[in-house]
Amino acid sequence: MKKNDANSDGAENKKQHDLARNKSDGTDQFMTTDQGVKINDDNNSLKAGERGPSLLEDFILREKITHFDHERIPERIVHARGSAAHGYFQPNADASTYSKAGFLQDPNAITPVFVRFSTVAGFRGSTDLARDVRGFAVKFYTEEGNFDLVGNNIPVFFIQDASKFPDLIHAVKPEPHNEIPQAASAHDTFWDFISLMPESMHMVMWAMSDRAIPRSYRMMEGFGVHTFRLIDKNNKSNFVKFHWKPKLGTHAVVWDEAVKISGNDPDFHRRDLWEAIENGSFPEWELGVQVIPEADEHKYDFDLLDPTKLVPEELVPVTIIGKMVLNRNPDNFFAETEQVAFHPGHVVPGIDFTNDPLLQGRLFSYTDTQLSRLGSPNFHEIPINRTIAPMHNNQRDGHMRQEINTGRVSYFPNSLGGGCPYQAKIAEGGFASFNERIDARKVRERSESFSDHFSQAKLFFESQTEVEQQHIINAFRFELSKVETPEIRTRMLGLLSQVDKGLAQKVAANLGIAVPDKPEKPMNKGIGADADQNKHEPKAVKAAVQKSDALSMINNKTNSKTIESRVVAFLCSDGVDSQSVNAMKAALEKEKAVVKIIGTNATAITGSDTKKIKVDHNLLTVSSVLFDAVFIPAGKASAEALGKEEKAIEFLNDAYKHCKAIAADKEGITLLNHTNFILKLSDENSKENGVFTNEVPKSNLPQDFIEAMGNHRVWKRENSL
């Protein structure tokens, strides 16, 4: 079956049928102008004589160049760099008691989705491996209209109030005078702002952790961030936090690797997502919810409306309510990935908002931004944005209107049109906002319940393993070393000392400065000049949860150890032992890992049995940072030839440095003698350091290798570096 057939996922996918209306394929067709006139010569413009000037009447040239001149649209203000895929969502009906949303009721009903992952700060062409938050935006094409869950891979946000968003983004984007640096937070304006905004400390801890350099989009958690509401059919509301849990586990690369991937393959995450789907290895997530009864709104030591706080899973467990599978790559990047317009305000009956002041601001921003990005209030008509639910209203006209509304009535109420389109009763699926009682003064103020900025930053740090904590310390050292203004560094250390004194001291020691005795009183902190400053002084709170394994990628017991779709490099040259290659390949592929033959040429190498082995990548073009593990098959001639290749040695040295599993079979072991880590290894400690040397068929080499890959990294090695 052809991959992009509307029905190729076996399920009736209404969105694919809908998109099919707009698909165009030039195979076996004449080339025409936009007006349908067949083109006879697409290579030469119309001229007065062979060497003469071009003629204005050349409508073919004019049309072609004009279209080209207008090909670009503004990139997203944030989240400009991203990749997307189609798929479906299937509920398990566990949420049907809490929400009347149609797509959450029937475990047999499949809802098409389109999901876009992104970095935040970089421009459209920037590297995928920047230290950054990742966007995780899901559009559910439900029968009751589109529901967009526009989340991130980090469960909290930097700021509490929407009015600070432009400031935050201005601070993190390249500096305005010289537009440097690209896709990086390691510069003065970002840390200047952060150091004056204590509320950002929780998110900053996440952003400095390895969560900000994921191994793959397929290996990230997703979070709705804000507290939303689920509304049942009796109009009863429960608070909810949304979670996406990846089937492949949550994994990251290490910083040195991220830096090198950015040079080797800036499209690393984009390619990874694309290739996994093309190979039929469909990424999958479980959708989970933390449901909090309305009565418990004030039960916690944090405010549910404060987007800088998470609800520890120890307090409210995550209930899985369905799964999402991504099984189809887009046909056209611009038409789908670039033109998709997400909006947290796209909700369906059964889902509603809370008064989280960040969420409230977002409800304004996302339509507004599409007006400049997509150019018209008709962006909902772009195929990827179109709902599969019937759509009728009295909105009319505007740039690029596609719909041809018939009849004379475009207002409501009307009698000339028989009162149509008519309003839906709630029982008929009409959306009615949750009728929350609000009785308040009009103020520009922060709630005092938003004043604790450090407890959850501390919770996050203390929940990490030693290795993860060290990575956070290293990230602060890196970022603050790039800051040129000494006062900003000191101010940041003052804030860090409120999170963890040891952390602040370790960062300070590397910067060559001291931790200030007490944090500097930040200027104005984003609250009004007349406000009672003491009231808004960051307050320490005795948090109910001090440590949460769910926040650590290493400690999290539920983190998957599968090696499915992990990519293993086989370093090979002529004379490689074919049996060794085949045996290890079979063992890895049984676990659904992907094997890539890295050869000393671009085409094929000759195995020991004289058979040709197809090369996937020329050694010249790759580095170990692009793979999850390395295997050196047996074969004397191969090992000897590789020993002369600087690139092969560098490959192994980097794999070791980045704590990746390394295996070598028989003569392949001799290649390790050229590395700089051989001296750290002995027969006794080699295995525990994740370097497995043995004979493939006779030993448990493949099992050891697979187990080490399942643990993601051999962290022990990092301590001994």
CA-angle at 138, arms to 132 and 142, nearest 5°: 170
Both tokens of residue 450? 């938003």
Q: How far is the CB of 342 from ligand HDE (least distance, A)?
A: 4
Nearer to ligand HDE, 98 or 165 (CB): 165
Quote the CA–CA distance of 9 and 507 in Å, as a whole number: 51
Residue 214 lies near ligand HDE (rule: CB under 6 A): no
Query: Rule CB under 6 A: is residue 197 a binding residue for ligand HDE?
Result: no
Residue, CB closest to ligand HDE: 135
Distance CA 225, CA 243 (A): 9
Q: Which of 677, 674, 671, 645 is nearest to 658 (CA)?
A: 677
Q: Contacts with ligand HDE in 66-105 (CB under 6 A)?
A: 76-79, 82
Q: Which stretch binds ligand HDE (CB under 6 A): 359-367, 448-456, 494-502, 661-669?
A: 359-367
Question: Residue 115 interacts with ligand HDE (CB under 6 A)?
Answer: no
Indicate which single residue of 157, 450, 476, 627 sits in contact with ligand HDE (rule: CB under 6 A). 157
Q: How far apart are CA 499 and CA 454, in angstroms?
A: 6
Interaction with ligand HDE in 577-636: which residues (CB under 6 A)?
A: none
Q: Give the integer Cα–Cα distance in Å for 161 and 152.
A: 17
Shortest CB 69 distance to ligand HDE, Å: 24
Q: Select from 116, 139, 241, 453 the one that contacts ligand HDE (CB under 6 A).
A: 116
**Among 26-34, 211-219, 363-371, 702-710, which window interacts with ligand HDE (CB under 6 A)?**
363-371
- Ranges within 423-482 binding ligand HDE (CB under 6 A): none
Applying CB under 6 A, does 375 fall inside the site for ligand HDE?
Answer: no
Give the amino acid at 474: N
Spatial neighbors of 127 by CB under 8 A, at least 6 apart, are: 183, 261, 262, 266
Binding status of residue 135 toward ligand HDE by CB under 6 A: yes
151 near ligand HDE, rule: CB under 6 A: yes
| Count of residues of this chain found to bind ligand HDE when the rule CB under 6 A is applied | 25
**Least distance to ligand HDE, CB of residue 268, Å:** 18
Residue 624 identity = S
- DSSP bridge pairs for 118: 82, 135
Q: Give me the residues paired with residue 87 across strands.
A: 113, 326
Closest distance to ligand HDE from the beta carbon of 204 (Å): 14
- Among the listed residues 83, 111, 118, 694, the single contact to ligand HDE using CB under 6 A: 118
Contact 343, 371 (CB under 8 A): no
CA pair distance 587, 706, nearest whole angstrom: 9
What is the x/- site pattern for ligand HDE, positions 218-247, by CB under 6 A? -------x----------------------
Residue 480, burial from CB neighbour count under 10 angstroms (0-12, 13-18, 19+): buried
> What number of other Cβ atoms are within 10 A of residue 670's Cβ?
15
Candidates 316-324, 340-348, 447-455, 647-655; binding stretch for ligand HDE (CB under 6 A):
340-348
Active site annotation includes 153: no
Task: Confirm or reject binding of residue 355 to ligand HDE (CB under 6 A).
Answer: no
Find the part of the chain contacting ligand HDE (CB under 6 A) among 204-212, 240-248, 360-368, 542-550.
360-368
From candidates 111, 152, 185, 308, binder to ligand HDE by CB under 6 A:
152
Instruction: Indicate which residue of 152, 238, 378, 694 is catalytic.
Output: 152
Q: In b/e form, how buried is each residue of 24-50, taking b as 16+ CB within 10 angstroms?
A: eeeeeeeeeeeeeeeeeeeeeeeeeee
To the query of whether residue 152 is one of the catalytic residues in this protein, the response is: yes
What are the DSSP calls for 60-71, one per residue?
HHHHHHHHHHT-
CA distances from 208 to 213, 238, 460, 476, 480 (A): 9, 33, 11, 7, 11
Binding segment toward ligand HDE, per CB under 6 A, in 289-297, 334-342, 435-443, 559-567: 334-342
Quote the CA–CA distance of 520 and 522 in Å, as a whole number. Answer: 6
Active site positions, annotated: 79, 152
User: Which residues of this chain interact with ligand HDE, rule CB under 6 A?
Assistant: 76-79, 82, 116, 118, 135, 137, 150-152, 157, 162, 165, 225, 340-342, 358, 361-362, 365-366, 369
